[in-house]
Chains A and B, each alone.
Chain A
């Protein structure tokens, strides 16, 4: 509860700041303070100290898992704002508003990580999405940004409509919006009604839309490419993994109990293969690093879908691990990307000569995404693969997945090849010492998680 109220509250406070505070650069600092406060109250919440006691009639349930995810999401946002805060403020002339919208998105994230009721899921998705439609179009003099925003809005509303339809059908089938349903073991499919299955399928499609899983991923590259780089970074990381957490809760709540009627695992297996295929194969042919990262985020979503496929202990732990590893690495990559004048692969040529720190940290982020040991990305992938192996079936799925992981090295290593093995004169914006320090710290976090994951686990399960 703390996180939901504080994030919304801080957003409103910043709204007042936007006309009360004259100095533009101070918005960034106010946002950082807000995120710190948010992180603290959320950690307090996971230790049982709730500032607010609001009876939500069991519509929201604060599980340890959800609160942990909140901490990860808020911490990632904090790192994101610290690294790219200046670039966020520079998108347009409404510096404060961008931060406000980010706080509202976090409010949506907090609802999604704790919903126990389909209405709350809908509410969370909407609170999450609407600020994003605006943020996508925030570079309002840029035609591509406007196009992306409109596309995102139309596609997003379409998927939300499907979601509402699905929720209505599920209500018709079970008579409740709650995630946990009391089922009688009689009747067709052992108490699972046909309407509920159809509703769940609708819901699944709309969630696949949100997490950009194939074949519902077509909006992703255009939107990620059109949106300002800093905003893409936020959308591709925190927002996306929040969608996964919501999806995971839905799977635990409704899909495990309806598996007598329909083979969800098979459906997910098909979606995983399609996602990995589209994401990886199309990423190979990209010429722009930004667009490559958009496709790579689809490919990474394919790996995260493994958690929804296997739904065991490894899966939920692994998804937390994956969300941390993936978010941190992608935030780092985008932070460097927005500093580059030329975001094609050629633009990175020879970066190791002119900006060794940027190149070295970028290499670590790419290693993490590719899943090379010693980085957080390896353990994340490890957990995902282990969760499927643990189920005992579908070993072929794992084999296919690792082959795609090997393909993914092609486009990740293209950046490394450009930075280290080719010569060129990369044009970057002015790089400050503190930015470099932030990148080094981020790379260090990724390596520490990769070498000694126990520290993360201890922190998570304190």
Chain B
């Protein structure tokens, strides 16, 4: 029941918000709905009753597809992330004014519902449905409220992901025709019988969809443009949560369905991911735009997750599960600061900013903590995940792990460089009369920073959640 409510609350809340005309009512109502969703997610995380966590009802008997939703360790982590992100985003952007605010927040909720559906569904066709549905509101959000070049950029994003998901649909259809009982249920998919060459083909069709979403190296070109052009609130949702759909898809569907093929192809994918990490980090160093820098840094982080997933080690998998959550928290924090700076000064260029630390000390402190988390300093949340991921990668192939470590050093270079250029040094003309960040931004950032530090010092609850699922997924791989 909890699982169903987690999707229904944002859907219904979103549909109502779509029709609220008054700006402030829309904001207040959406904050309320997002908090209710968060409460349900928290209940879901702490609940242990199986009948509460699962929901199952016939949907399309003709096709043997059921509406099966379930909360296990993996989906608990991700639904918690999805549910936390929205109240934080709404709080942080509370002072922003959007034309047609009701429509904006309504679409945000529909997008959130789609993503929650992806994380909760235990039926392949249902998964595909939600996978696509999360995209449509995002398409409208970016195209209506985005930056100058929003229409072509968002369409590029849409076409990329749509091609990927259609290829995934073929793969799903093919596996469906090979399942023992001709059903879309997750367990039947895990037991589908494919020959070696078939699973090789289907693996790649499936993987390309996930790789585009993550994004892994040659498929990443949509991402920086989209993040730059999208309204920042949507960028937070896209980078904080939606990219996790790709990583999630690998863990939930790709690895268990194609255990053999994922092992044989792991070297290619890990190589691509590591190339992507270095490539993105190097580009990030050269960026002058805050949003583009964070976008490239996100590609590097997700590349590491992808590499660790295919290293086929339990520690690596566990690290990915934790890091999915932590990366979401950290990057949302970075975007909030980027948005606050852009709103105040009308620019995101490092060359035009400087010395902000003197004028906005609170923002500076909070931002530095988030940046340190972004470079995975010990005692921040990201350290735990990255340590475990490198552990797994190292066991798989020390050389690859060594090369990937360079990207971590580069991450420190560009992140610290960003702090220095924006917050330190002397004030420039633009920042001379700057004021500190407003209360709502501070509130959102403080929540995130608390999460960063708590899970950095005491990661055990998250580790337990992750361990149980990591074991389960690794056990499926022969």
User: Does A410 belong to the interface (CB within 8 Å)?
Assistant: yes
Assess whether A372 is in contact with B173, with CB atoms less than 8 Å apart. no
Assess whether A405 is in contact with B166, with CB atoms less than 8 Å apart. yes
User: Does B201 belong to the interface (CB within 8 Å)?
Assistant: yes
Interface-side segment among B157-165, B240-248, B371-379: B157-165
Between B136, B150, B170, B177, the greatest number of chain A beta carbons within 10 A of the residue's beta carbon is seen for B170
The contact of B62 among A374, A421, A457, by CB within 8 Å, is A457
User: Does B368 belong to the interface (CB within 8 Å)?
Assistant: no
A392 CA to B132 CA, complexed, in Å: 26
A417 CA to B201 CA, complexed, in Å: 35
A 431-462 binary contact with B (CB < 8 Å = 1; else 0): 00000000000000000000011100100000
User: Does A60 belong to the interface (CB within 8 Å)?
Assistant: no
Assess whether A454 is in contact with B167, with CB atoms less than 8 Å apart. no
Q: Which chain A residues (398-421) contact chain B, with CB distance < 8 Å?
A: 398-399, 402-403, 405-406, 409-410, 413, 417, 420-421
User: Does B360 belong to the interface (CB within 8 Å)?
Assistant: no
A319 to B: closest C-beta gap in Å: 15
User: Does A143 belong to the interface (CB within 8 Å)?
Assistant: no
User: Does A270 belong to the interface (CB within 8 Å)?
Assistant: no
Assess whether B155 is in contact with A417, with CB atoms less than 8 Å apart. yes
Q: Given A372-B136, A374-B133, A421-B144, A413–B170 Cβ distance below 8 Å? A: no
A382 CA to B61 CA, complexed, in Å: 15
User: Does A395 belong to the interface (CB within 8 Å)?
Assistant: yes
B283 to A: closest C-beta gap in Å: 27
- Taking CB as reference atom, which chain A residue is nearest B163? A406
User: Does A390 belong to the interface (CB within 8 Å)?
Assistant: yes
A420 CA to B100 CA, complexed, in Å: 13
Between B132, B155, B167, B169, the greatest number of chain A beta carbons within 10 A of the residue's beta carbon is seen for B169
A362 CA to B379 CA, complexed, in Å: 53
The contact of A374 among B129, B155, B174, by CB within 8 Å, is B129
Contacts of B173 in A (CB 8 A): 382, 385-386, 389, 398
A457 CA to B58 CA, complexed, in Å: 14
Contacts of B159 in A (CB 8 A): 406, 409-410
Q: Which chain B residues (194-237) contact chain A, with CB distance < 8 Å?
A: 201, 205
A405 CA to B140 CA, complexed, in Å: 20
Contacts of B169 in A (CB 8 A): 382, 385, 402
User: Does A131 belong to the interface (CB within 8 Å)?
Assistant: no
User: Does A172 belong to the interface (CB within 8 Å)?
Assistant: no
Q: Given A389-B173, A390-B177, A421-B151, A373–B143 Cβ distance below 8 Å? A: no
Assess whether A413 is in contact with B155, with CB atoms less than 8 Å apart. yes
Assess whether A417 is in contact with B143, with CB atoms less than 8 Å apart. yes
A403 to B: closest C-beta gap in Å: 7
Q: Given A402-B166, A417-B151, A454–B201 Cβ distance below 8 Å? A: no
A398 to B: closest C-beta gap in Å: 5
Q: Size band of the A side of the interface?
A: 20 to 34
A395 CA to B128 CA, complexed, in Å: 19
Assess whether A454 is in contact with B60, with CB atoms less than 8 Å apart. yes
Q: Which chain B residues (128-155) contact chain A, with CB distance < 8 Å?
A: 128-129, 132-133, 136, 140, 143-144, 150-151, 155
B125 to A: closest C-beta gap in Å: 8
Contacts of A389 in B (CB 8 A): 170, 173-174, 176-177
Assess whether B170 is in contact with A395, with CB atoms less than 8 Å apart. yes
The contact of A454 among B62, B144, B158, B163, by CB within 8 Å, is B62
Assess whether A373 is in contact with B167, with CB atoms less than 8 Å apart. no
A457 CA to B151 CA, complexed, in Å: 39
- Taking CB as reference atom, which chain A residue is nearest B143? A421
A409 CA to B164 CA, complexed, in Å: 13
A325 CA to B265 CA, complexed, in Å: 40
- Taking CB as reference atom, which chain B residue is nearest A386? B173
A421 to B: closest C-beta gap in Å: 5
The contact of B167 among A374, A378, A399, A452, by CB within 8 Å, is A399
Contacts of A372 in B (CB 8 A): 132, 136
A420 CA to B103 CA, complexed, in Å: 12
A386 CA to B163 CA, complexed, in Å: 17
A452 CA to B59 CA, complexed, in Å: 7
A386 CA to B124 CA, complexed, in Å: 14
Assess whether B170 is in contact with A402, with CB atoms less than 8 Å apart. yes
Contacts of B151 in A (CB 8 A): 417, 421-422
A167 CA to B150 CA, complexed, in Å: 56
A420 CA to B144 CA, complexed, in Å: 7
A17 to B: closest C-beta gap in Å: 43
- Taking CB as reference atom, which chain A residue is nearest B58? A454
Contacts of B60 in A (CB 8 A): 453-454
B209 to A: closest C-beta gap in Å: 11
- Taking CB as reference atom, which chain A residue is nearest B168? A402
A422 CA to B151 CA, complexed, in Å: 9
B204 to A: closest C-beta gap in Å: 11
Contacts of B59 in A (CB 8 A): 452, 454
Assess whether A406 is in contact with B140, with CB atoms less than 8 Å apart. no
Contacts of B132 in A (CB 8 A): 372-373, 378
The contact of B170 among A367, A399, A406, A409, by CB within 8 Å, is A399
Q: Which chain B residues (232-278) contact chain A, with CB distance < 8 Å?
A: none
Assess whether B162 is in contact with A409, with CB atoms less than 8 Å apart. yes
A 242-267 binary contact with B (CB < 8 Å = 1; else 0): 00000000000000000000000000
Assess whether B129 is in contact with A398, with CB atoms less than 8 Å apart. no
A372 CA to B169 CA, complexed, in Å: 12
The contact of B150 among A373, A386, A421, by CB within 8 Å, is A421
A442 CA to B143 CA, complexed, in Å: 26
B219 to A: closest C-beta gap in Å: 14
A312 to B: closest C-beta gap in Å: 11
Contacts of B205 in A (CB 8 A): 399
A83 CA to B174 CA, complexed, in Å: 40
Contacts of A417 in B (CB 8 A): 143, 151, 155
The contact of B140 among A420, A422, A453, by CB within 8 Å, is A420
A450 CA to B179 CA, complexed, in Å: 24
A164 CA to B149 CA, complexed, in Å: 57
A to B CB contacts below 8 Å, 12 in the list: A372-B136, A374-B133, A385-B173, A386-B176, A389-B176, A398-B173, A399-B167, A403-B166, A406-B159, A410-B155, A421-B143, A454-B62
**Nearest 4 CB-CB pairings of A with B:** A402-B166, A406-B163, A373-B129, A389-B173
Residues of B with Cβ closer than 8 Å to A?
A: 59-62, 128-129, 132-133, 136, 140, 143-144, 150-151, 155, 158-159, 162-163, 166-167, 169-170, 173-174, 176-177, 201, 205
Given pairs A389-B173, A402-B169, 10 additional interface contacts (CB within 8 A): A382-B173, A385-B173, A386-B176, A398-B170, A398-B173, A402-B163, A403-B166, A417-B143, A421-B143, A454-B59
Residues of A with Cβ closer than 8 Å to B?
A: 367, 372-374, 378, 382, 385-386, 389-390, 392, 395, 398-399, 402-403, 405-406, 409-410, 413, 417, 420-422, 452-454, 457
